[in-house]
Structure 1
C-alpha cells in the first residue's frame, strides 16, 4: 500500500480513554492487552466517530444510552457561561482526530480532521463544539459551536450549507478517510446462519456488523463479480475439504429471504447448521475479497472460532488485501499463536497506568524490545511480559 489511508488516530475522553496521543497506524495494526485494558474501547471510539459523522450525534449516542455514559469521568466537566464567541458548555470535550491520505484528484493528498463533542450547562444539550478539516495546499474548513462553517478557500462544490444543526457534522459528505465505508465487525454466528430478508432494490449491499446478512452479501458479490465469488468459495474449500460448494439460496414461502447452503457429497446443509468457525471464515473472506472492499476493516478478536490452519489463511488474505491497497485492517487479539505470525511493528500494546487510564504504545519503538525480538517471536514476548512498559527499569 503506497499511500496509507489512515496514518494516525487520536481519541480523548471516550469511556476510560483520557488521551491516546496521535497513535500511529500501520496498514495492519493489531491491538493487544489484558481484558479491560482499553483496546476494544479504541475501536468503539472509531465506530462512534463514524456514527457521529454519518448519522449525527443523537443517533451515534443511541447504542450507549446517552452521551454522559461514555464521556470520561476521570476528568472534570465544569460549566462555562456563554460568551460572545462561545456557547455555554462543559469543559474537556470528547474528541476524535485522524490524519491520512486521500486519493481524490480534486482535494486529494494529505488530510487531517477533528470533531469535538460536549454538553451544554446542566447536561440538557449535546452539540458539536468544534470541527476542523485540513487538506493539502492550505485548503481547510472549520465549524464552530453554533454550526457556522468557515471555508475561505473551499471549492464551490462543497459549499452545500453555511450553518449546520447542533449534531450534524461537516464530515458527512466529504468522504474524508473513507469514513462512511469503514467496516466494523462483531460477528454473531447465531444470527449469521439464519435466513435474512432479500434486498430487492438496487445498490451496494454492506455487510452488517454482526454478519446477519452474510448470505445477501455473498449473493451481491456473486452478481457483481463471479470470479471474486468463486475465489471465496475456493479459499473456503482449502480449509473445509468436504465443502463441494456454497451458495446463497433464495426462498419465498412466506417472504423472500436469503440463506446460506453448503453442498457436502450428495446432500445440502443449511446455514443455521454451519459451525460458528465456518460462518466467521465466510464473513472475513467475503470482506477481504469483495469487489468493493471497505477501505478500513476493524475486527474484534479475529482468532475466535478459527483453527491454526484457518488463522494462517485469513492472515494471508489480509496481507494480500493490504499489499494490493484494497483495505487497511485494525484488529484486537488475545492469541499468542496469531502474534507469532506477525511482525513486531504491527502491534500496539494497551495497558492501564497507575491512575487506571489506558495507555497505548508500540513495542517496536523500544530498542530493548527490538533486541528481544531477534531471538523470540512476538507471542512469546507478550506472554512473558517482555512487551510491557512496566517491566522496564
Structure 2
C-alpha cells in the first residue's frame, strides 16, 4: 500500500508544498461538479473545464513542472489524431475567408477551439488523475444531477421556477442528460475496475448506469436515449467481440460521414411513414426536410463548403441561389441537426475528410488496447457519434467540453496503446 501511495505522489510531479495539491484538488473538484453545473446552467461546461484547466496548470507551475507540461503538450499534439484534428481546425479557420458572415464564423470557431484547448491544457498539466475518491465523487454528482432532472420534470419545473433558474421549458434538461451519459461511461468503467472496495464500487456503477438510463428516458432528448442505447449495445458487443465491433463501428462511421450530402434523400426515400409517424415533429419529417435543404448546400459546394460556422445563417449565404426554391426556407433552421452534414456544408469534402481521418486514427489506437480497456472507450465514441448524427449544432462549446471531460476521466492513458509513454 505504501508503494502505491509513493507511486501516486511520483506521478503528479515534484511536491513543492501544499499549494500545488490544493490547486489540483480544486481543479479536480470542478471536474466532479460539471454534471451539476450543467443541470444548473446547461451551457456551463466550457467555463467549468476552463477553470479546472487553469487551476491544474497553476498547480503544475507551483510544483515547478512547467517544462514537463510543455513536453506533454508537444507529445499530445504530435499524435496522429492530434495532427488530424489540428489540420481540421486550421482548415476550418481558413474557410472563414469565404464565409458570408466572417465575424459570426470566427465566434463559432472560437466556441469549438476553446474547449479543445482547455482539454489539452488539462491533460498536459499532468495533475489530473481520476483516483478512486474522485471517481466515486463524480458518480454521486451524476446521480444527483439525474435525480434533480427527473424531480424537476415530474414536478413541472416548479423548483426551477421558485429559484428563478432561466427558461421554464423541459428541453433545458436535454444537455444535462447527455452530459450525464458521456461522463458516466468512464466513471462506470473506472469504478468497475477498482481493485479495492469492489462490491460497493460495482453496486455504485450499476446504480449510476440505471440512473443515467432513467434520466435519458424521462427527458425529451431523443439524442440522449439513442446515445444510451448505442453505448450499452456497443459496450456489450465490444466486450464479447472487440475486433469485430471496432471494425463495424469504423465502417458505420465512414459510411455516415460519406453519405451525409445525400442523407435527406436517403431518409426521404428509405424511411416509411409508419416509422416517421412515431417520432415527434422535429425528429421526423421536419428533420428530413432540413437534411434535404443542407444536403443541397453540401452538393453545391462539394470541395470547400460554404465556410465554417455559416449554418446558423445559411439562409443569407449566396449559396441559397443554387438551392431549389422549395428547400430554401429550412436553411434558416440554424443548423442541419447532423454533424457530418454540417461538416460537409461548412467545410466541404476537405473538412469532412480530415474529421474522418481523425476518427479512424483514434479507432486505430483503440484497436491496440486490451479488450476490457477498449470496450468502454469505443462505446463512448459510438454513443457520441450517434448523438452527433441526430443532435443539434456540431460545434457547440458545451458539447465539445463535455466530450473533452469524458475523455479525460478515462485517465492519462485513455487513447494510448500499451507500451507508450503515459506521461
TM tier, shorter chain?
under 0.3
Is the radius of gyration larger for structure 1 or structure 2?
Answer: 1
Q: Bigger relative contact order, structure 1 or 2, given CA contacts below 8 A and separation 6+? A: 2
Q: TM-score, normalised by structure 2?
A: 0.21
More strand by share: 1
Q: TM-score, normalised by structure 1?
A: 0.23
More helix by share: 2
